[in-house]
Structure 1
Amino acid sequence: MKHTYTVVGLGVFGSTIALELARLGHDVIGIDLNPNLVSDIADRITQAVVADARDEKVLRDLGVHECDGVVVAIGEDIEANILVTLIVKGMPKPKVWAKALNPNHHKILEKLGTDHIVHPEHEMGLRLARSMIYPEVTDYISLGHDQFTVEVRASEQLAGQKMEALHLEENDLQCLLIKHLNEVMLPPPLRYEFKLNDKILLFGTLGNLRKITKYL
């Protein structure tokens, strides 16, 4: 289903989001005060505008109040970030994602009722550190309460072995699916022999997932 999104702030973080949303087939309005940033992205999203998003009339004239979601990606001016978030949260329709710069900023965004608060530098730092320590992990999603889904790659050590080689049951973990090339096995067959570079989706607590890294 096609949606319409607005991204306020077209630095590296905001422009990356805007371009990916556009690539996924959605309409995207990009807003920034910097004409160079707007020009860089103008021909790759639905609409790119040099405008002051702190002005509610400007946002409404652009149709932001009718969007499905708004990303407040302003990364340097905390005051502007908070004010834009406050204005958009006063609009009944859009869900709001806002970039937080520090813990106090996070608390303010939380009090404003921001639907999703992101810390991109912090989260990317965590991902990088974990990928350095656990190179078999290609992606992960935190589900809260220490529950994670983790995508891992079958190494040479695991290739040719079956599910029991992962010791999932004794570590209270589940294998949700296996992807071999373009074939997705859901649920995964218990007697399947892993092939090199298979993608395996696992679910469980972080502590238990760490226990089986030696088998991957």
Structure 2
Amino acid sequence: MKKQFAIIGLGRFGTSICKELYHMGHEVLAIDKDEKKVEEANQFATHAIYADATDEASLIKIGIRNFEHVIVAIGEDIQASILCTLHLKDLDVPKVWVKAQNSYHHKVLEKIGADRIFHPEKDMGNRIAEFLTSEKVLDYIDLSADYSIVEILATKKVNGKSLIDLDVRAKYGCTVLAIKQKGKVDVTPNPNDPLHQGDIFVVIGNKRDLRRFQEGAL
């Protein structure tokens, strides 16, 4: 279903989100105080507006209250990010998602009511570290400091075995959410079906247990 999003701040992070949402068919309002960035954003946004998002009157004028989702992607200016977020919450925007620069910025954003806080550099760093340390990891989603969902490529060690044989939950404390085989995703895999090299396991669990599963079973 088509949704309406406003992106405030058109640096690399904000531009990337803006392009993706626009290509997905959503209505996207791009906002920045840099006229050059606004002009470029016309290519990948429904509307692009030059405005100072730290000014509450400007936010009201552009109709920011009409947007259910507003992403604050302001770069290194932490003060501007905080002030903009504060205005958005005062204007009762339902969902305000904000890019944080560091843990102190994160704490302030929590205090003033940001609904979701991103750490793109840290999150990407975690993903790259996982990919670098294991050739089996195809994708990685952090759920918390301790838990993740991981897509893991099976090696020939699983050939002919079944989920019952692997006994993943009992041996490793992880849960297999789905198995991808030949491009098809099975979210209710038959525990007796044979597994093959090249199958992809989608597994949730404690990070320590997930590593044990990668090393021991696959």
* TM-score relative to the length of structure 1: 0.91
Q: What is the one-letter code of the residue matched to 2:149?
A: T
Question: Quick one: structure 1 residues 25 and 198, their matched pair in 2 at CA, closer, same or farther if it must change by over 3 Å?
Answer: farther
RMSD over aligned CA atoms reads 1.9
Tell me whether 49-58 or 152-161 shows the greater mean CA deviation: 152-161
**Amino acid paired to 1:110:** E
Moved more, 28-37 or 181-190: 181-190
Deviates more, 1:114-123 or 1:58-67: 58-67
TM-score normalised over the length of structure 2 = 0.90
Measure, in 2, the Cα distance between the counterparts of 1:102 and 1:63: 30
Cross-structure match for 1:208: 209
Seq. identity, % = 38
Number of residue equivalences: 216
1:65-116 alpha-carbon deviations (Å, 9 max, x no partner)? 1111111111111111111111111122331111111221111111111111
- 1:92 alignment partner AA: D
Query: What is the rounded CA distance, in whole Å, between the counterparts of 2:17 and 2:159 in structure 1?
Result: 36
Question: Is the 2:152–2:214 Cα contact (8 Å) retained in structure 1?
Answer: no
In 2, Cα distance between the equivalents of 1:32 and 1:158? Answer: 52
Question: 1-side partners of 2:64 and 2:165: how far apart?
Answer: 52
- Alignment map for 1:4-19 (pairs within 5 Å): 4-19=4-19
Aligned residue for 2:30, secondary structure, equals: strand
Once residues 88 and 41 of structure 2 are traced to their aligned partners in structure 1, the CA distance between those partners, rounded to angstroms, is 23
Shift of 1:173: 1.7
Read off the aligned partner of 2:30 and give its amino acid letter: G
Partner Cα separation in structure 2 for residue 97 and residue 87 of structure 1: 13
User: Which residue matches 1:176?
Assistant: 177
User: Which residue of structure 2 aligns with residue 187 of structure 1?
Assistant: 188
- Offset at residue 40 of structure 1 (A): 2.2
User: 1:60 aligns to what?
Assistant: 60
Q: CA deviation at 1:158?
A: 3.5
Correspondence for 1:43:
43
Q: In the alignment, what sits opposite 1:85?
A: 85
Instruction: Give 1:22 deviation, angstroms.
Output: 1.4
